[in-house]
Amino acid sequence: MAFEDLLEDPVIQKYLHELVGPTGMPVAAAPPDGEVTDEELAEELGLELNDVRRALFILYENDLASYRRVRDEDSGWLTYLWTFEYDNIPENLEEELYRLLDGLERRRDYERDHQFYLCEVDSIRFEFEEAMEFGFECPECGSPLESMENSRLLDAVEERIVELREELGVERERRAEA
């Protein structure tokens, strides 16, 4: 098996699981050295050929696998020879760190700029304007909407933003660049 170093990381395992799902995971978790066909993988892992192909295609879409096609001279059939490109995992996850930072910064602004009201029975949160429209009563159950603190959420968001900026070497507010 190749890429053992990377696959030891639980975050990377989780990432692959997120992409290919539980049925594809045997394929994603055990990348062979060198080239392999979908049939070889299916046989080796005891999986349905369709599940193997689906997993390989998802990996391909995420730059984590590539293939080359070879025509069998006797039968004329095309064979796909797959190579796992897991060297790209760190760069993909780096991109995800940037996307998460972007999401957190936008959400922080939203949380900071709005006041929220909560229906404690249904656990539904409303913005101030919505709550006012409903006369501060839950449209589902009619119980009163209570003003809701979001400082704990904001603190957690702010803390993760700082950690991400530091890790990525991003000093400026990304929004300031736009």
Does position 18 interact with another protein (CB under 8 A)? The reply is yes
Q: How far is CA 115 from CA 44, 110, 118, in A?
A: 56, 10, 10
Does position 107 interact with another protein (CB under 8 A)? The reply is yes
Q: Which stretch binds another protein (CB under 8 A): 23-31, 68-76, 91-99, 132-140?
A: 91-99
N residues, the chain: 178
Does position 168 interact with another protein (CB under 8 A)? The reply is yes
Does position 164 interact with another protein (CB under 8 A)? The reply is yes
* Pairwise CA distance, residues 64 & 28, whole Å: 9
Q: Compute φ and ψ for 67, nearest 5 degrees.
A: -140, 160
Does position 96 interact with another protein (CB under 8 A)? The reply is yes
Q: Strand pairing of 78-84 and 65-71?
A: antiparallel
**Site for another protein, rule CB under 8 A:** 4-6, 9, 11-12, 14-15, 18-19, 90-91, 93-94, 96-97, 99-100, 102-104, 106-107, 110, 152-153, 155-157, 160, 163-164, 166-169
